[in-house]
Amino acid sequence: MVHVAKEMTREGFTVPLLIGGATTSKAHTAVKIAPSYTPSVVHVLDASRAVGVVGSLISPAQKPAFVQQIRDDYERMRQAHKDKGAKVLLPIAQARANRLKTDWAKVDIPTPSFLGVRTINEQPLTDLVPYIDWSPFFHTWELRGRYPSIFDDATVGVKAKELYDDARRLLDEIIHKKFLTAKGVYGFFAAASADDDIVLYRDASRKEILTTIHTLRQQSEKPQGQPNLALADFIAPGESGRSDHLGAFAVTAGIGLDELCRRFDRDHDDYNSIMAKALADRLAEAFAEYLHKQVREAWGYGKSEALSSEDLIREKYRGIRPAPGYPACPDHTEKRLLFDLLHVEQQAGITLTESFAMLPAAAVSGFYFAHPEAKYFAVGKIGKDQVEDYAGRKSMSVAAIERWLSPNLNYEPAN
């Protein structure tokens, strides 16, 4: 995003730049992006708020005060960030020495029931409905609260119930008339960690390398007894003598969404167009949750689970499914390796843009880890020593890695 802002400046753009999405923040926008583009940069918390922001930006009466308020706010955030100073990081070698310690001779390492890739050509949407987490649905409409207690909220309860009832009616129609199709692909692969990389093998013989997944390690100094984590820590190293595995997946519930939204748009029905997109997003996330349950069972360790829908939403199970571009795996370019590994474009109809966004947008992808201590974490800030090491492991230039990992850099890269 910093690169895009700089390119807009170089090309002489004057239009406002709006920044949003799950992996962005107001602080990052203020500190990293806004200084690279003078006309105006605004962080928008979610898409539903974009209309109000754009309205203020195009209004001759409102724009000057609105832009000045944003600039003043961002300047205060930049000053606060400067006052805090850069974090003191451990050298990458020292951070690796403080990796998660596992007694690989004793840890439970399950074996999946199969190796390779399997495709789900058409997942029944009715199977996914019980796995929907409705709370983020209300956030799309700027209604804060958890489902179902949000219905009892004195301020937003009535509106939340109206939205929910409308959503369930449209969801029933989508299912009955098959407006949306859900597809997916997933697989298990023989794996072994090698420092901060995860080597995947073509088959159980482990004689031929299929590909290598690259992970990043926390470099912030930790309190005594706390490890500096990398996702590779959750996979047994080759020298352990244990046979470990990594899973991967990509799912979508957005096939057919564009046509459905075009129908609503032709009727000037913005409400149901937005509603359909929100439901497709919820179904895609539900698909990821549903499939993860099937994967845990196929991996063996999930067969004895007795979890409620709420337990599943709160992820009260063994194992994690981190995704490229998110805190534990902030490098979006790893998504290309995942897509090639699973042949996602051919098998599930999901494609990647040049910035590694997934199309349809109602899609989820990631890796499966089964280690008993596997947990989500944030890599956080990293130093140039790790960036250079990482660039070498990926056979990419340092400048390219700096561009993709800009939010995580603990230093200002050279232009």
Q: What is the pLDDT along the chain (415 residues), one digit of tens a residue?
A: 787 888 888 888 888 898 887 667 888 888 888 888 888 888 987 666 777 888 888 888 888 888 888 888 888 888 887 667 667 899 999 999 999 999 999 999 999 999 999 999 999 999 999 999 999 999 888 888 999 999 999 999 999 999 999 999 999 999 999 999 999 999 999 999 999 999 999 999 999 999 999 999 999 999 999 999 999 999 999 999 999 999 999 999 999 999 999 999 999 999 999 999 999 999 999 999 999 999 999 999 988 888 887 888 788 899 999 999 999 999 999 999 999 999 999 999 999 999 999 999 999 999 999 999 999 999 999 999 999 999 999 999 999 999 999 989 999 898 6
Count other C-beta atoms under 10 Å from residue 415's C-beta.
Answer: 6
The runs of H, that is alpha helices, within 106-222 are 125-128, 135-140, 157-177
- In the chain, CATH 3.40.50.280 sits at 2-84
pLDDT (0 to 100) of residue 362: 97
- Sign of the C-alpha dihedral, residues 312, 317, 323, 329? positive
What are the backbone dihedrals phi and psi of residue 297, each rounded to the nearest 5 degrees, phi first? -70, -45
Structural contact between residues 330 and 216, judged by C-beta atoms closer than 8 angstroms: yes
| pLDDT computed for residue 303 by the predictor | 85
Nearest CA to 124 out of 178, 168, 163, 167 is that of 178
Angle between helix 63-84 and helix 50-58 axes, rounded to 10 deg? 120
- DSSP letter at 149 equals G
Residue whose structure tokens are 């690279």: 36
- 90-122+183-254+283-415: what fold? Cobalamin-dependent Methionine Synthase; domain 1 (3.10.196)
217 bridge partner residues: none
From 3.30.70.1230, 3.40.50.280, 3.30.420.140, 3.40.50.720, which CATH number describes the 2-84 domain?
3.40.50.280
pTM of the model: 0.84
Q: Where in the chain is the domain with CATH 3.10.196.10?
A: 90-122+183-254+283-415
The per-residue pLDDT for 343 is 98
pLDDT at 19: 87
Q: Are the beta carbons of 324 and 166 closer than 8 angstroms?
A: no
